Amino acid sequence: MIPLTNLPTTLLLPSTESMNELLALIDVGYIKGVNKKLAAIESEEAHCLAFVEYMRRLSSQFEIEKMKTFLKEVTT
């Protein structure tokens, strides 16, 4: 897994709605949809750039379970 130490200590997250949509896409393994949603988050919620970059690294490696685990960790 890409270490969380590469992320800023304060990671700004997208809206709850965006996170839920992203998790739904990850749950069905739709990587193309995940990447489209990440692009939307990047343009609509620019403060989340570090989050988007981290998730893109995971999606480029098809790390679906790691993306799912990461989202659950940062939202609990």
Question: Mean pLDDT for each 10-residue chunk of the chain (76 residues)?
Answer: 51 93 95 97 94 94 93 84
Q: Give me the pLDDT at residue 1, please.
A: 41
pTM recorded for the entire structure:
0.84
Block residue for tokens 């989202």? 71
Q: Does some domain include residue 1?
A: no
**C-beta neighbour count of 58 within 10 angstroms:** 20
Domain that residue 41 falls in: 12-75
In a domain, 7, yes or no: no
In a domain, 2, yes or no: no
Instruction: Round to whole Å and give the CA distance between 41 and 19.
Output: 9
Tokens representing 57 are 């690294």
Name the domain count of the chain: 1
In this prediction, residue 73 carries a pLDDT of 87
What confidence score (pLDDT) does residue 76 get? 76
Residue 16 lies in a domain: yes
Question: Whose CA is closest to 52, among 25, 16, 20, 12?
Answer: 12
